[in-house]
Chain A
Amino acid sequence: MTTSMTASPRVEMLGVSKSFPGVRALDSVDLTLHPGEVHALLGENGAGKSTLIKILTGALECDRGDIRLEGRPVSFRTTGEAQASGISTVYQEVNLIPAMSVTKNLTLERTGGRLGFVSWRRAREQAREKLQRLKLDINIEQSVGSYSVAIQQLVAIARALDDDTKVLVLDEPTASLDAQETETLFGIIRDLKARGIAVVFITHFLDQVYEISDRISVLRNGSLVATKPTSELPPQDLVAMMIGRELGDVEAAFTKSERKAPGAEKVVARNLGKKRMLEPFDLVLRAGEVVGLAGLLGSGRTETAKLIFGAIRHDSGSLSVRGTEIRGNSPRRALDAGIAFCPEDRKTEGLVGELSIRENIVLTMQAKGGWLRRIPHRDQERLADEMIKALAIATPDAEKPVGQLSGGNQQKVVLARALASKPEVLLLDEPTRGIDVGAHAEIIVLIRALCDEGLALLVASSELDEIVAASDRVAVLRDRQKIGELSGEAINHENIIRMIAGGGADHE
């Protein structure tokens, strides 16, 4: 590390600025990357991380500022030009062509070949060589889409790496990986580092930042807060730099407020289940109470929420809402009964990216009110403005397409949409996925506030902190089965982990 720090910088970005209509995305940001370092780039959603990376990798052009690669000024007009100069990127959403084979994905626009012809024999050799670098052994003829997201991620990295790669940018590479896959990835990153590649690592997992990075740069509201060696920046300071307020506020958000006794039973599930998906379970949701769903990935958290909402049809048991049984449950009936659902994957299931904030918020209401009874435009605007204010959505106005918002703000729009239909029961699946500490705390505060207003909430989350902080009661799941509930003082990390890991004393 010390030797690499004294070497001349690989990349220097100086005074980089970029504006979008209505938003100043970057304001005179400097970033220096040294060979053989892992440089963590941190910041809240909308801080400008993605914009900075897109400028570095040629996907966007900056309005002002200089980029120097090994001392020479460069300006990339396309990602292809940046790649050719040795700057490679793996974007947040895995960017591969799912329908094409691994070979084609690895060699697309990367094969030599005379007169534009492709030699598939050479392409296959090249593909194997690339996978060999990551010690990845998969069938290269199969389509990329047939592999898990983790494998796709590694294929994307394999694609990004060349013999002459100088800078590798990884944007949230671990978001969809489990612990072991993350470890494999870190092994690969250390390997790349040893080869003198400068790795830019964007993540919102702070423990991973401390595990792998040498230096940290923090962006906030489009400006660089600071760049510091990881060893000189304790986590508390880092969080404070990221969210720009005292850590105490965040912690306060996580501590439980005075809680009232729960109200009437809103949803009662008895023996609700679906074959090969979820074992029958009992669950009661009460007004003014947050029920957390804890469990590992694949334990059936999402399925539980979707069964109650009717997005998945149950084949056993019964579900009643406010005393009346719902037969043949469907999302439409759930909405009519006052249940709203915020799905985990906001991109594919929750929001229509091209539509504006206002239109997205009005969607469910329109469905509920019937297509013929149009909601007056003025009411729509009023509602959207109310929601933007209530949830503090960062946007110039309600007409901005949702696709252009940052992750945390998109999540707030999902929430706004669910709330616009004035539900009595709100099901949230991973409400803080892909958003970082500041927005995280805000969402939890929101959840508690909704609860205090008498809503019945179900929160499924992979983050234990969140479950512990937000819930009045926790349902614990393991292997597609509900294995128990915790409430009150019993809700803490150790108890939940013990239930998930051991199933009580009998296995210990």
Chain B
Amino acid sequence: MNKKYLPLAATIAVFIGLFLIGGGLYRNFLSTMVLGNILADNAFIIIAALGATFVILSGGIDLSIGSMIGFVGVCMAVLDSMGWHPMVSAGLMILFGIAYGAFQGFVIDFCRIQPFIITLAGLFLLRGACFMVTLDSVPIHHDFVDAYAAAKIPLPGRGVLRSSALVMLASLVLAIVIAHFTRFGTNVYAIGGDKESARLMGVPIRRTTIGVYALGGFYSALAGVVYALYTSSGYPLAGSTLELSAIAAVVLGGTLLTGGVGFVVGTLFGGMILGLISTMIIFQGTLNSAWIMISSGGLLFIFIVLHRFLVGSFNLRGNS
């Protein structure tokens, strides 16, 4: 097996291992129902993390994800109360997400400013905008939302794939195609691997950087749409610190934070591991929810150390 698949294999092994441990500890855990629920409950995190995967692969970071999710939610809720169809407002918000991301990417490249700072500004801006739109939680009432919530594909066993899970899986396929079968995707890896070399090799840095953050904006806006439909409401504080969960999912999925190395599909498993941990703690029943973050943190820590070790001994980035 090629060495570059090792972190991905480790991620998948951890997922399967956790799932089996859960099955050993709790009755009814090892089922398609639990799996289906994890997919649906974490769909928005994984969708956002898919966008973050591109950003991180390019060597950047996007902190505006959580605020985007909140902003998309409140906008959709308010537009709903004004009589807009959710699909129309969703489309509008996704276009906004793309434009907002593209603008962040442009500023990052044009002004040569660290993505951390630009997207931190983006985080504050959008969160503030949420409160400008509404201070309260606004419900979304629409037949479409009910139909969206009811739609499901049965899985073998008692499990179902809900709409959110389906949107997430479709997003995943799109992300895999973009990352691994387009020039743009290859260029993202190249920029993350060595920006100066990539420039000299003729990779259009500005266009690719703008594209990366636009794609990040697209995925976080889509995550916002899924979240709004999933909770049938918009709440100005929704999605706070979610960018950090998304980054955690990407890292757990085997992508190097320094960029250039990783797989999109790893992010799916990274996100599902986070979901699995919270499901296990809920199944356990007596532990309070603090343990979700504690175990996620512990696992993240172990993974980073493991990565460091893998990079050191197998030369993942290939510096000889």
Contact = CB atoms under 8 A, between A and B. Distances in A.
Interface string B174-208: 00000001111111011001101111111110000
Interface stretch (B14-22, B241-249, B310-318): B310-318
A81 to B, nearest CB: 9
Contact of B183 (A80, A98, A99, A118): A118
Contact of B320 (A111, A117, A146): A146
Given A96-B201, A108-B203, A148-B320, 4 more contacts: A96-B197, A108-B186, A145-B317, A145-B320
Interface string B285-320: 000000000000000000000000000000111111
A40 to B, nearest CB: 22
Smallest CB-CB A-B distances: 5 pairs: A145-B318, A80-B202, A98-B318, A97-B193, A95-B197
B200 A59 contact: yes
A113 B316 contact: no
Nearest to B320: A145
A149 B185 CA distance: 27
Q: Is chain A's interface secondary structure helix, strand, loop, or mixed overall?
A: loop
Nearest to B189: A100
B182 A108 contact: no
Contact of A98 (B2, B182, B194, B201): B194
User: How large, as a class, is the contact surface on chain A?
Assistant: 20 to 34
A284 to B, nearest CB: 35
Interface in A213-242: none
A169 to B, nearest CB: 12
Nearest to A149: B320
A138 to B, nearest CB: 14
B260 A99 contact: yes
B201 A99 contact: no
Given A59-B200, A149-B320, A109 B183 contact: yes
A190 B196 CA distance: 30
30 contacts: A78-B202, A78-B204, A79-B202, A95-B197, A97-B190, A97-B194, A97-B201, A98-B194, A98-B317, A98-B319, A99-B189, A99-B260, A99-B261, A99-B316, A100-B186, A100-B189, A104-B190, A108-B186, A108-B201, A108-B203, A110-B202, A111-B183, A116-B182, A116-B183, A117-B182, A118-B181, A118-B183, A144-B318, A145-B318, A149-B320
Interface string A110-127: 110100111010000000
Contact of A104 (B189, B197, B315, B320): B189
Contacts, number: 95
B181 to A, nearest CB: 6
A141 B2 CA distance: 9
Contacts of A116: 182-184
Contact of B193 (A98, A113, A120): A98
Contacts of B2: 141-142
A97 to B, nearest CB: 4
A473 interface: no
Interface of A: 59, 78-80, 83, 89, 91, 95-100, 104-105, 108-111, 113, 116-118, 120, 141-149, 159
A146 B197 CA distance: 17
A113 B181 CA distance: 10
B4 interface: yes
A144 B201 CA distance: 14
Interface of B: 2, 4, 181-187, 189-190, 193-194, 196-204, 260-261, 315-320
Nearest to A83: B202
B313 to A, nearest CB: 13
Contacts of A149: 320
A144 B318 CA distance: 7
Given A96-B197, A99-B193, A143-B318, A118 B202 contact: no
B200 A95 contact: yes
A120 B179 CA distance: 13
Given A96-B197, A97-B260, A117-B181, A108 B187 contact: yes
Contact of A109 (B182, B194, B203): B203
A159 B182 CA distance: 19
Contacts of B193: 97-100
B183 A91 contact: no
A432 B181 CA distance: 45
Nearest to B198: A97
A110 B261 CA distance: 21
A133 to B, nearest CB: 18
Contacts of B184: 116
A146 B318 contact: yes
Contacts of A147: 320
Given A97-B194, A118-B182, A80 B320 contact: no
A155 to B, nearest CB: 12
B318 A108 contact: no
Contact of A145 (B183, B185, B186, B315): B315
A143 B4 contact: yes
Nearest to A82: B202
A108 B198 CA distance: 9
A212 to B, nearest CB: 24
